[in-house]
Amino acid sequence: MTLEFDADVLVVGGGLGGVAATLAALKAGRSVVLTEEYDWLGGQLTSQAVPPDEHSWVERFGVTASYRALRDGIRDHYRRHYPLTEGARAWRDLNPGAGWVSRLCHEPRVGLAVIEAMLAPWRGSGRLQVLQPYRPVAADVDGDRVRAIRLAHRDGGPDIVASGRYVLDATETGDLLPLTGTEYVTGFESRSETGEPSAPETAQPLNMQAVSICFALDHVDGNHVIDRPANYAFWRDHRPEFWGGPLLGWRSPHPRTLEIVERSFTPNPDDDPLAVNADQRLNPGDGNLWTFRRIAARRNFTGGTYASDITLVNWPMIDYFEGPVFEVPEAEAKRHLAGAAELSRCVLYWLQTEAPRLDGGAGFPGLRLRSDVTGTIDGLAQAPYIRESRRIRAEYTVAEQDLSLAVRGTRGAVRYPDSVGVGMYRIDLHPSTGGDNYIDVGSCPFEIPLGALLPRRMENLLPAGKAIGTTHITNGCYRLHPVEWNIGEVAGHLAAWCLDHGLPPRAVRARPDRLAAFQARLEAEGVELHWPEVAGY
């Protein structure tokens, strides 16, 4: 049996970009079918269990109004439902986890609750249909237009054929691009193609950033050591050439300098959460791995509520760069995903049994895997953290020299006449499947050009996340939470705008009057198109 669904806009992929696209199209008066492969909507914020990676000015500017509503909703959820201390409740910029990676570190379920609340009225009205857990497996294409996408149920339910007048690819790896025959690129482009200072001489399409399978931990009394993983000996002894020691250890390259540095690990430090200043300009925050991505600081809550802090493990040692998880045969992709999960379990076992302690001992048997936090049986995140996607061959491709601080200096990033949003993060590339070390380059606050959302040929397919026209290098700063949301939001508005005006997307960009009208619409919806005068880092 095959079911059929149809709407004005079909959004395939329910990560942050997909959710933002869905909300934008709905607010513009359109009906939407949204599909998602995993149990939770929200992608990197929820099912991938990655606290927000954001820029230093996020509390004042540099994100869309709807993304700010998401952040405010998360804080409001804690204030309404959690027993916060008086100090935490009065903290305007409440950081529930007091993590150093972001000014808003929180439990994934809270992000999910807020996303579901944002979508609830549209579900109730019937304008939004959400299909889970479904993944795209085939496409019906007529020339340069996508007619429908076939979706397979993860657990063996009926197939679905979903159609929309516009189809948005918000999947984590640009899954619709090969299915629809849309031109795309993967991995490293060559320097001769992009002109980028950090690009290699020849293209390396299978050289992609590491994936990570995250997990949550607390530290309580008792012995919570998991069974020894089958491949533990391999990973314990594994020494990547550029790592400075074994992969499972406190020593690893500093992303910005490549100097070998030693990090610390102190579960439940008696720190004051209100004193945490999560500003990436001043401190990357990864000195103590426990507080780096802490998502619940027990001292933010009334006594006895949390027996321990909860921290999210997304650390250098869980980066899996043995091989790519897409653009290879399915069996190989599954093997690498299984390998990434096994690496994460090995890291946990090492932490519990062999990790050096400051007192001279080894192992932290009180570390407890929090499967309830990730919503899984095995305790790992529902979905792998995918840093790099397939990327469309776009009308305009953002290159390193558009925004590199070393290249642009005081001039700031290139200002695009077709800007449809803003973002900021360092160009942050993790070790890759081609054997590269970190590439971490200072960035200028940048804009998002509409041309990067437009495939060169396809008429009604739009990327709504990491599949936009960036390079391997610039993907490193366009892939973070608020930028993905902004991209998705614009894709949703663009689809609705084109339906309202009977125009294809390229026609909106092609004429200054049409472009100006669309940009005015975005600004009216709270999308910032340009930065004030701020310096990069």
Ramachandran quadrant class, 391 (left: phi over 0; alpha: psi -120 to 50; beta: rest): beta
Q: What are 74's two structure tokens?
A: 């998360």
Q: Is 324 exposed, middle or buried (0-12, 13-18, 19+ CB in 10 A)?
A: buried
For 217, 276, 285, 380, the CA distances from 279, given in Å and listed in that order, are 24, 9, 8, 28
For residue range 199-258, what is the model confidence (pLDDT) as tens digits? 999 999 999 999 999 999 999 999 999 999 999 999 999 999 999 999 999 999 999 999
HEC string for 287-307: CEHHHHCEEECHHHECCCCCC
What pLDDT is stored for residue 430 in this prediction? 97
List phi, psi (to 5°) of 364: -125, 80
**Alpha-carbon span 365 to 1, nearest angstrom:** 50
157-160, long-range: CB < 8 A, 24+ apart: 158/1, 158/2, 158/3, 159/1, 159/2, 159/3, 160/2, 160/3, 160/4, 160/5, 160/35, 160/131, 160/134
For 21, 131, 175, 498, the CA distances from 463, given in Å and listed in that order, are 10, 19, 10, 15
C-beta separation of 366 from 267 below 8 A:
yes
Is the pLDDT at 1 greater than 90, yes or no? Answer: no
| DSSP labels, 36-55 | -SSSSSSGGGTTT-------
Backbone CA torsion sign across 331, 167, 54, 408: positive
Tokens 């990357």, located at residue: 284
What pLDDT is stored for residue 258 in this prediction? 95
Ramachandran quadrant class, 137 (left: phi over 0; alpha: psi -120 to 50; beta: rest): alpha
**Alpha-carbon span 18 to 264, nearest angstrom:** 37
Q: Is the peptide bond before 52 cis (omega within 30 degrees of 0)?
A: no
- Helix segments in 167-286, DSSP class H: 176-180, 191-194, 232-237
**Alpha-carbon span 313 to 213, nearest angstrom:** 9
Among 276-290, 301-315, 394-408, the minimum mean pLDDT is found in 276-290
What pLDDT is stored for residue 284 in this prediction? 85
Is the pLDDT at 280 greater than 90, yes or no? Answer: no
List phi, psi (to 5°) of 366: -80, -5
Using alpha carbons, select from 10, 1, 34, 50 the residue that is nearest to residue 116: 34
**Alpha-carbon span 248 to 347, nearest angstrom:** 6
Upper half-sphere CA count for residue 25 (Cβ side, 13 Å): 35
Average pLDDT over residues 145-161: 97
Model confidence, pTM: 0.98
Is the pLDDT at 282 greater than 90, yes or no? Answer: no
CB within 8 Å of 27: residues ≥ 6 apart? 525
Q: Is 130 helix (H, G, I), strand (E, B) or coil?
A: strand
Write down the mean pLDDT value for the chain: 97
Q: Is 296 exposed, middle or buried (0-12, 13-18, 19+ CB in 10 A)?
A: buried
For residue range 467-479, what is the model confidence (pLDDT) as tens digits? 999 999 999 999 9
Tokens 């020691």, located at residue: 245
